């Protein structure tokens, strides 16, 4: 008898939770997704794709080199302060 009572209570609780979730899903607005059925009229050719990829790689490499220079420039004053601390 106690097992049936627990089973019934669990069924009622799970139904209540399910109904609450359904209610929440109806009130949540969905994100408007872009229409992907239309592609741009002009796609890049293989040569244009290769050129664009090379430009992107060069830009990434120069960005990385500039970042390394900035980091090194930021470390130089600290290196100059360290000998002063030793005195």
Mean pLDDT for 28-33 is: 66
Q: Is the pLDDT of residue 72 over 80?
A: yes
The model's confidence at residue 69, banded by pLDDT at 50, 70 and 90, is very high
Mean pLDDT for 6-25 is: 75
Segment of 37-41, 56-60, 72-76, 83-87 carrying the highest mean pLDDT:
56-60
DSSP 4-61: HHHHHHHHHHHHHHHHHHHHHHHHSPPPPPP--SS--S-PPPHHHHHHHHHHHHHHHH
Mean pLDDT for 73-85 is: 63
The model's confidence at residue 22, banded by pLDDT at 50, 70 and 90, is low
Higher-confidence residue: 37 or 15?
Answer: 15
Torsion of Cα atoms, 44 then 47 then 50 then 53, to 10°:
-40
Tokens of 43: 């796609």
DSSP 46-63: HHHHHHHHHHHHHHHHHH
């Amino acid at each position: 008898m106690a097992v049936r009572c627990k089973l019934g209570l669990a069924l009622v609780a799970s139904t209540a939770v399910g109904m609450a979730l359904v209610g929440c899903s109806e009130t949540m607005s969905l994100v408007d997704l872009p229409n992907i059925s239309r592609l741009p009229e002009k796609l890049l050719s293989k040569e244009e794709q290769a050129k664009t990829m090379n430009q992107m790689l060069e830009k990434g490499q120069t960005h990385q080199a500039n970042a390394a220079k900035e980091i090194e420039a930021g470390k130089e004053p600290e290196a100059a302060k360290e000998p002063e601390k030793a005195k």
